Structure 1
Amino acid sequence: MTTDSRPYLLLVRTSAWYDLVVTAAFVTPWTYALLHEALSLGPLPEGSPIPVLYANLMGSVVVVWALLRVLRPLPLHGFLDGVARVLFATWQAYALAHGAAAVVGLFLAVEVAFGLAQLVPWARPDAWRNRPRLRPETP
């Protein structure tokens, strides 16, 4: 698979749909509270809105990023999403090492799988030759 092939763009779009499904409930304080309780984590702690704020910010950014990849998947989006998944996987592994719930391991496995699938094609010697330009050409 090359980074400019239809299968690669389908992979980029599929990973975006996964992100939408997994993170949509993080977007609002009300849906996050329902998710928190559904995961048997109990009610949200009283008194500090900051953890909810962080969850809502993360959910909002991931949902918007996922919508871009669903509506306009580009090879560059796959590369950047792969990099983001390496970061997410790193922090999920860190959380697991520090006592996070075992369910985080399932999300870690998906992050690693999508991350590798989106980054490995960029390791080909010719992958960067036809890369999209980040700045417009000057006349």
Structure 2
Amino acid sequence: MHTMSRSAFLTAVRASAAYDLLLTAPFATPWTFAFLHARLSAVNRSLGGHALPDFGPFHVLFACLMGSIVLVWSVLRLRAASVLLGRYDGVGRFLFSFWMAWTLAATGAPLLWLFLVPEFCWGVIQWLPVAQAGAGNSTARAPFTSAAPMRSSRGG
């Protein structure tokens, strides 16, 4: 399996964050979401699906909550990209992909493919092995984290 350099991996973490920032920003407010919902509905119809169902205030609330937290998560990954955050983001993307696939199976909405494929691909990229710094060194970082090796309180 291909091993990514740490630098390439962090670039992928930042790129996925930028992708999320652009894609999710319209979900962050009720006004931008209303505009986006109409556009997404039109895209779904143009792909052979039905118009998306209307959203009530509670649906919009949850869309905006999701949009808001993803925006914050995106800024965090842009400002402090790490292997650890990339791994967590990969898990989140696999969860998002699972729920998108579940909704696709339930609705057949072709629009979901436009979200599902990139989401799953970003998850895979962020779970590729990362080359360990100083692989012959006993203090090399674990592949899951970017944190320095644990040391005891006695200086070891």
Q: What TM-score, normalized by structure 2, do the two folds share?
A: 0.75
Offset from partner CA, 1:27-66 (integer Å, 9 cap, x none): 0000000111122257944xx3110000000000101000
Q: Which of 116, 131, 134 is residue 145 of structure 2 equivalent to? A: 131
The one-letter code of the counterpart of 1:6 is S
> Partners in 1 of 2:34 and 2:144 — Cα distance?
45
Answer yes or no: is the 8 Å Cα contact 1:36–1:43 preserved in 2: no
Gaps of 5+ in 2: 43-50, 133-139
Q: What TM-score, normalized by structure 1, do the two folds share?
A: 0.84
- Judging by fraction of residues, say which structure has more helix: 1
Spell out the pairing of 1:3-82 with structure 2 (5 A cutoff).
5-39=6-40, 40=42, 41=51, 44-45=54-55, 48-82=56-90
Specify the SS of the correspondent of 2:87: helix
Answer yes or no: is the 8 Å Cα contact 1:33–1:44 preserved in 2: no
> Partners in 1 of 2:36 and 2:152 — Cα distance?
49
Q: Which residue of 1 aligns with 2:96?
A: 88
> Partners in 2 of 1:51 and 1:74 — Cα distance?
33
Offset from partner CA, 1:81-119 (integer Å, 9 cap, x none): 000000000000000000152111121100111100101
Specify the SS of the correspondent of 1:37: helix
Q: Which residue of 1 aligns with 2:117?
A: 109
Specify the SS of the correspondent of 1:78: helix
Identity %: 40
> Partners in 2 of 1:60 and 1:22 — Cα distance?
12
Gaps of 5+ in 1: none
Max radius of gyration: which structure?
2
**How large is the RMSD of aligned CA atoms in angstroms?**
2.8
Answer yes or no: is the 8 Å Cα contact 1:121–1:127 preserved in 2: no
